[in-house]
Structure 1
Amino acid sequence: MEMILRKGESNTGMRLFQIYFSPTGGTKKIVDFMSRSWDCEKVEINLSNSLEDFSEYEFGENDVCMVAAPVFGGRVPMLVTSNIRKLKGNGAKAVLIAVYGNRAYEDALLELKNTAALAGFCCIAGVAAVAQHSIMNQFAAGRPDLRDEEELLDFSEKIKGITGENTVGAELWVPGNDPYKEYKVVPVIPKTGEECNQCGLCAEECPAGAIPKENPMLTEPEMCISCMRCVVICPQKARYADEGLVEMMSKRLGEVCSVRKENELFLLDFAEE
């Protein structure tokens, strides 16, 4: 925690904070691509760490924070918005990144913006980016790819170009509706196969605390957010999503998810003098 800016301390140099929730790795890849060209001190903050006290993090006006989250059913998972609200922005510049699996991001980017603003951040840019779907892996397979990488690096350069601008009177517009759409996703509760050796890694890494440490073969349905973290990290490949349910979802979303969606950038609109 030595990187935290505490009250009374000064921050004279720019720092880039990579603040992300990335249960299956796609969101972190996007953040890594966009951070690559920033020549400054970089600090990672993993919003999925259930043991972290995010209220201890304070930022300064010279800091730039990439705040990234996956899109679940057109919204940001409540666990993520709850953790973002605990941060103390103190006027730090925020780059909002909503990562979706090639269907639609709907109200997620606006929700990220509003949540970050309430936490005291100055929102200067929004990015909607595509990564491989966390449940239906055939959609956006392999993304972000080289084409995405080039585009995201270009976005990053444009964002860097406005970080020194005076933001007074400027407003960031991103698409979305307020009130947001109802948070409604098909619950895909991972199952556990006989390969499980009860190592407990899934229980330790579950951001929602839905897997009991005393019996990691179980999953609490009312707590699970279907993030697929346990499926991705299981060393024994013993965790999996119900194939029948995934097939049903794939058929329903096949048409809308099969056409390649493009990444989008939204920049702060500076008022004319």
Structure 2
Amino acid sequence: MKIHEICFSPTGGTRRVAEILSQALANEIVPVDLTARDVDFRSVKLADGDVALIAVPSYSGRVPAVAATRLEMLCGNGARAILVCVYGNRAYEDTLAELRDTATRAGFRVVAAVAAVAEHSIVRQYGAGRPDAADEALLRNFAVRIRRKIDDADDSEPKIPGHRPYRKAAGTGLIPKATRSCVQCGVCAAKCPVGAIDPAAPTRMDKKVCISCMRCVAVCPHKARRVNGLLLALVGRLLKKACSERKSCEVYL
């Protein structure tokens, strides 16, 4: 089976979950990177017999707005879709419900959904090391069950948790800034999913455009971008109660 792996993963956690599932489901993977700014997503067209795995992180219980916009540009043309939301061990709230609605508008038929945990992209002590070996085993088990449903030509839509209207979208969170170690190599500007960093002067960024995805922090070869340490510590304390207890991956069939 061939899988179209449609993924928005600024820091790699969502992609890791998507890869575990895709590799267990199929022997051929066609990647579609929703973080890329130079792709004409309207040109991505699937067919009725195709299968797509659509994976996004949960940002405060919602699909990242830019990911939703780019996903809606795709032409699903009736392809089956496996939805995946990845969260940092707090909660994913309305992410799967919103992803289901977005994928449906793009022409996909939702047949399965997965919620999985990965390291929190900002407060990294939460979900650290995940997906771990236990998660991977569980996700592979989910893949077997999803594959069985697809092979049985069962196109029934699963009951997916979430509310409509969705929870209010959060404003921009912590904004990474360049430190004195910045050599203005431009990697962060080239890789930013929304073009918030000035390529001519990477120490400058548009705070109104930034989505706090932490891609610039993750890709900087000089570790020269970071968020304010005091604010990070405060957010860590605020999340401690919600994030400390280990959450488990879930599947909806």
- TM-score, normalising length: structure 1: 0.90
Q: Aligned equivalents of 2:158 and 2:101: distance in 1?
A: 11
Q: Would you identify which runs of 4 or more consecutive aligned residues in structure 1 move more than 6 Å?
A: none
Q: Aligned equivalents of 1:114 and 1:71: distance in 2?
A: 15
Match of 1:158 in 2: 145
Pairing of 1:1-273 with structure 2 (within 5 A): 14-167=1-154, 170-185=156-171, 187-267=173-253
C-alpha displacement of 1:185: 4.5
Contact 1:15 1:62 (8 Å CA) reproduced:
no
Contact 1:73 1:183 (8 Å CA) reproduced:
yes
C-alpha displacement of 1:61: 2.0
Structure with more of its chain in helix, by fraction: 2
Please tell me whether Structure 1 or Structure 2 has the larger radius of gyration of its CA atoms: 1
1:204-249 deviation per Cα after TM superposition (whole angstroms, max 9, x unaligned)? 0000110011111112100000000000100111000111111111
C-alpha displacement of 1:166: 4.0
Q: Aligned equivalents of 1:255 and 1:265: distance in 2?
A: 24
Contact 2:20 2:140 (8 Å CA) reproduced:
yes
C-alpha displacement of 1:91: 0.8
Structure 1: give runs of 5+ residues left out of the alignment. 1-13, 268-273
Q: Aligned equivalents of 2:204 and 2:169: distance in 1?
A: 25
- TM-score, normalising length: structure 2: 0.97
C-alpha displacement of 1:167: 4.7
Q: Report the CA distance shift for 1:229/1:160 in structure 2 as closer, same or farther (over 3 A).
A: same
Q: Aligned equivalents of 1:118 and 1:167: distance in 2?
A: 21
1:45-96 deviation per Cα after TM superposition (whole angstroms, max 9, x unaligned)? 1100011111001111221111000000000110000000000001111000
Contact 2:114 2:252 (8 Å CA) reproduced:
yes
Is the partner of 1:196 in helix, strand or coil? coil
Equivalent residue letter for 1:190 = P
C-alpha displacement of 1:164: 3.1
Equivalent residue letter for 1:52 = V
Equivalent residue letter for 1:227 = C
After TM superposition, the structure 1 stretch with the greater mean CA deviation from structure 2, 39-48 or 248-257, is: 39-48
Quote the sequence identity (%).
43
Q: Report the CA distance shift for 1:78/1:39 in structure 2 as closer, same or farther (over 3 A).
A: closer
Is the partner of 1:37 in helix, strand or coil? helix
Q: Aligned equivalents of 1:162 and 1:83: distance in 2?
A: 28
Contact 1:73 1:185 (8 Å CA) reproduced:
no
CA RMSD of aligned residues (A): 1.1
Paired residues, number:
253
